[in-house]
Amino acid sequence: MNPSFRRTLQCLSMAAAFVLGARGAQAADITGAGSSFVYPLISKWSASYADKTGHRINYQSIGSGGGMAQIKAGTVDFGASDMPLDEATLKQYGLGQFPDAIGGIVPALNVEGVAPGQLLLDGNTLADIFLGRITRWNDAAILALNPGLDLPAANITVVHRSDGSGTSYHFTHYLSKVSSAWNASVGAGSTVQWPGGIGGKGNEGVAAYVRQIPHSIGYVEYAYARKNHIAHARLRNAAGTAVEPNMASFQAAAASADWDNSPHFSLLMLDAPGSDAWPITAASWVIMPVQPKNAANHAVALDFFEWAYTHGQDQARTLDYVPLPESLVTRIRTYWKSRFQR
């Protein structure tokens, strides 16, 4: 054996020992799949969590539909979805669910002379715009909400998401809740038959269209609108207050939502009653089996989310996700005890 070959072999065996050592006895590999909305958050959390504990969380952002399918089939340790499962489905597949993050959805617009946050809309007006009933920016309904604002007599171009998404799911559920006309003619879902307008792929697609097309209006995730400086509208909430979309108003929505009557957190925080609540506040849910195939992994996954609630909230804030209010976290811990037999 020549010396250089021997040296290579030594290096290789050391590397192997290092890799195997790092894998260690207790380090677990947790797998999760689903929502692309929480993907940046979970990947940031999992990096810090791996540094602390050595457990790795492998999360694949394959979409909420895919995440639900995988957790129902039991091929991952946890699924993440932008749409909650109802109680019957949870029971049928032996699953439990709890929220992991909150975000807001904001109307984004491009109207000459209208600054971010200057325009005020209410649910009905927003629905009528997306229904194509209100076609011009100087429509009486918009002017009535915005006295003193100089709105052009231009046609409104509506921009919606073309891909199936949790954002559309929450947005259309909100419109269905506040407008009976929307509910009757379009309804709610992650993909709907839009009455008009054009579809952009992803938040970035909608944002690009809104920016390029004068007099357009669309909807994007708050984090996206903030990072890209897109003009947003204020909304009038259920309590009648005109609110700005921000961390405080999203948290107010989460805190004022009626969790008492939704034991599995299958509740949309839309049009929440709080006086400062942002009306289109969305959540994302983690779905886990009640009787896991791999109990050790299950425990680590729960520990990961416990760590995230206690130590990961600053990271959530830097990524423009809204930390869950403390009252909700307490509820989730109680739910874990009753549902998952930790």
| Positions in the binding site for other proteins (CB under 8 A) | 36, 62-66, 68-69, 155, 157, 162-166, 186-194, 196-201, 205, 208-209, 212-213
Location of structure tokens 């692309």: 36
C-alpha–C-alpha distance, residues 60 and 199, integer Å: 25
The Cβ-side half-sphere exposure at 71, using a 13 Å CA radius, reads 36
Distances in Å between the alpha carbon of 308 and those of 224, 260, 323?
A: 22, 23, 10
C-alpha–C-alpha distance, residues 82 and 284, integer Å: 4
C-alpha–C-alpha distance, residues 283 and 253, integer Å: 11
Amino acid identity, residue 232?
H
Query: C-beta of 285: minimal distance to other proteins in Å?
Result: 14
Question: Between residues 10 and 212, which has the closer beta carbon with respect to other proteins?
Answer: 212
Question: Between residues 124 and 190, which has the closer beta carbon with respect to other proteins?
Answer: 190
Distances in Å between the alpha carbon of 141 and those of 105, 110, 274?
A: 22, 18, 25
C-alpha–C-alpha distance, residues 61 and 67, integer Å: 8
Query: C-beta of 145: minimal distance to other proteins in Å?
Result: 25
Query: C-beta of 64: minimal distance to other proteins in Å?
Result: 6
Question: Between residues 121 and 210, which has the closer beta carbon with respect to other proteins?
Answer: 210
Query: C-beta of 200: minimal distance to other proteins in Å?
Result: 7
Query: C-beta of 47: minimal distance to other proteins in Å?
Result: 24
Query: C-beta of 154: minimal distance to other proteins in Å?
Result: 11
Question: Between residues 64 and 179, which has the closer beta carbon with respect to other proteins?
Answer: 64
Residues 6 or more apart whose CB falls under 8 angstroms from that of 49 comprise 55, 57, 304, 307, 308, 312
Amino acid identity, residue 148?
G
Asked if residues 98 and 55 have their Cβ atoms less than 8 Å apart, the reply is no
Question: Between residues 61 and 249, which has the closer beta carbon with respect to other proteins?
Answer: 61
Query: C-beta of 111: minimal distance to other proteins in Å?
Result: 16
Location of structure tokens 């989730």: 332
Query: C-beta of 161: minimal distance to other proteins in Å?
Result: 9
Amino acid identity, residue 37?
F
145-171: burial string, b at 16+ Cβ within 10 Å, e else: bbeebebeeeebbbbbbbbebbbbbbb
Question: Between residues 196 and 273, which has the closer beta carbon with respect to other proteins?
Answer: 196
Question: Between residues 116 and 195, which has the closer beta carbon with respect to other proteins?
Answer: 195
Query: C-beta of 176: minimal distance to other proteins in Å?
Result: 10
Asked if residues 96 and 339 have their Cβ atoms less than 8 Å apart, the reply is yes
C-alpha–C-alpha distance, residues 256 and 29, integer Å: 37
CB atoms within 10 A of CB 299: 14
Report CA 256 to chain centroid distance, whole Å: 18
